[in-house]
Amino acid sequence: MSGQKTKPVVGLIVAVLILAAVGAVGYYQFEVAPRLATSSTSAQAACTPSTCVNITIPAGAGTCSPAPCGFSPAKVVVVIGQNGTVFWKNDDSAHHTVTGAGSFGSPDMGLNAVYSYHFTVAGNYSYVCNYHPWMRASVLAKAP
């Protein structure tokens, strides 16, 4: 009967469908979802360095390699009360976040969005991008 002949074909079709589904989920998670997220951080001028520090998220940050990468510079040292305010600006067309612990963390950041955080407690603050976990960096806040 023809049932014997069609089984391998059905198996192949199922395999192709599974691969397509996996690919679609990956594409959505890493390419579509970050762009769909709304940006609530409005663009604003970054600081004039003397009382603050600028960090850039350069174009292509989401595809950077090797990790840690994606925030420039990836490590900054600030002194509380002197230059303890840090500004992050997204220069990338892809959306990113600055996500640390507690209240240290930005909402979704689209192109040109700026996020700032005022460090008042000494410590080493590591952070990542929610969409690209290999984007890792840190701010070392020192006591005055």
The answer to whether 109 contacts Cu ion (rule: CB under 5 A) is no
Asked if residues 88 and 106 have their Cβ atoms less than 8 Å apart, the reply is yes
CB-nearer residue toward Cu ion: 70 or 84 = 70
Instruction: Return the residue of 88, 131, 139, 141 that touches Cu ion, per CB under 5 A.
Output: 131
Asked if residues 30 and 131 have their Cβ atoms less than 8 Å apart, the reply is yes
CB-nearer residue toward Cu ion: 21 or 33 = 33
Q: How far apart are CA 51 and CA 62, in angstroms?
A: 29
Q: How far apart are CA 98 and CA 95, in angstroms?
A: 11
Which residues share a beta bridge with 126?
138
Tokens of 128: 């990542």
CB-nearer residue toward Cu ion: 83 or 109 = 109
Instruction: Return the residue of 76, 84, 87, 96 that touches Cu ion, per CB under 5 A.
Output: 96
Instruction: Return the residue of 53, 55, 62, 119 that touches Cu ion, per CB under 5 A.
Output: 62
The answer to whether 132 contacts Cu ion (rule: CB under 5 A) is yes
Q: How far apart are CA 115 and CA 122, in angstroms?
A: 20
The answer to whether 55 contacts Cu ion (rule: CB under 5 A) is no
Q: Which amino acid would we find at residue 122?
A: A
The answer to whether 128 contacts Cu ion (rule: CB under 5 A) is no
The answer to whether 110 contacts Cu ion (rule: CB under 5 A) is no
Give the residues lining the site for Cu ion (CB under 5 A).
Answer: 62, 96, 129, 131-132, 135
